Amino acid sequence: MPDDPVRLPPVSTTAVGVAAIRAAESAQPAPLFVDPLAPAFVDAARPFWRADREDAPPRRRVGALIVWIRVRTRFLDDVVNDACGRGCRQVVVLGAGLDARAFRLPLPPGVRWFELDLPDVLEFKEEVVRAGRFEPACDRVVVPTDLAGDWAGDLDRAGFDPAQPTAWLAEGLLTYLTETTREAVVDEVSRRSLPGSRFGVTLASADRAASRRGVPESMPSQPNDYVALWQSDAPPDAHAWLGGRGWAVDEHDALERGRAYGLDLPAVTETRYAARLVDATRV
């Protein structure tokens, strides 16, 4: 790695925390998934990121975040594997961050994989990929862009084929977008999705987002405080939110899905505002 690696802006730095959790999961005796690139991302970020900072979120919040990332990673792995097994040969990861699925999933031949994110994020990621000589399992295309801008045009120029069914991923992303940008992104995804396309989405807890309400927009982001960076609340009803755009929605409570994966998680009586996982199919 270079002596002075690319530094990431606050929102993108949260991706390093996600990589750290994925690295820890990969080292477990019976992991939900294995991400061999995650330790390399964390090592490369050490000059500007630490997990034990004094201004880190409270331990209780960190514990919930770890469960959330473990479960959502496995869930979206399953969405991609199933979509590709059903004929999708085009995958688009929105706000890809340090997602390494293009390298670690057993993808079928002919898959074209697009990763969209800010230029600094992708530059950092490519430095690590090159230094580690990691090879993707598909035709991988990185697309530097801004989801608040002409990301669709950038995707087209990178070779996106609108005549192919597509698997889209929005993992840990939408709450960092303003509501206006989020809705514009989902509208564009819907317009570009043929029947049979899939949309894997994570929706954060609405009550957690509510803790951000009333905080002045001018308040600076706090390092390692991912909630302080949120810009919008999760849609309360995924079926209404995506159904009107032509998607059949399969929605799961994150804790219930975690228990289905064999995790020992507490039962909850109120799930209305719990973190949710969405697997939507274009009809």
Confirm whether 244 is domain-assigned: yes
Residue 211 has pLDDT above 80, yes or no: no
Confirm whether 77 is domain-assigned: yes
Confirm whether 4 is domain-assigned: no
Q: Which domain holds residue 49?
A: 10-282
Confirm whether 72 is domain-assigned: yes
Share of the chain above pLDDT 90, in %: 74
Residue 215 has pLDDT above 50, yes or no: no
Q: What is the pLDDT of residues 236-262, one digit of tens each?
A: 999 999 999 999 999 999 999 999 999
Q: Which amino acid is at 17?
A: G
Is the distance from CB of 137 to CB of 113 less than 8 angstroms? no
Confirm whether 2 is domain-assigned: no
Confirm whether 1 is domain-assigned: no
Confirm whether 3 is domain-assigned: no
Count of the separate structural domains present in the chain: 1
Residue 12: closest CA among 165, 148, 118 = 118
* C-alpha span between 222 and 55 (Å, rounded): 8
Confirm whether 5 is domain-assigned: no
43 Cβ contact partners less than 8 Å away, ≥ 6 residues apart:
1
Average pLDDT along the chain:
87
- Radius of gyration from C-alpha coordinates of the chain: 18
Residue 104 has pLDDT above 70, yes or no: yes
Residue 217 has pLDDT above 90, yes or no: no
**Alpha helix (H) ranges present in the chain?**
10-26, 38-45, 59-85, 101-104, 119-132, 151-157, 179-191, 206-210, 238-243, 254-260
| CATH code, domain with 63 | 3.40.50.150
**Coil, helix or strand for 244?**
coil
- Full DSSP string of 118-131: -HHHHHHHHHHHHH
Q: Tokens 């959502």, residue?
A: 72
Residue 178: closest CA among 217, 232, 226, 216 = 232
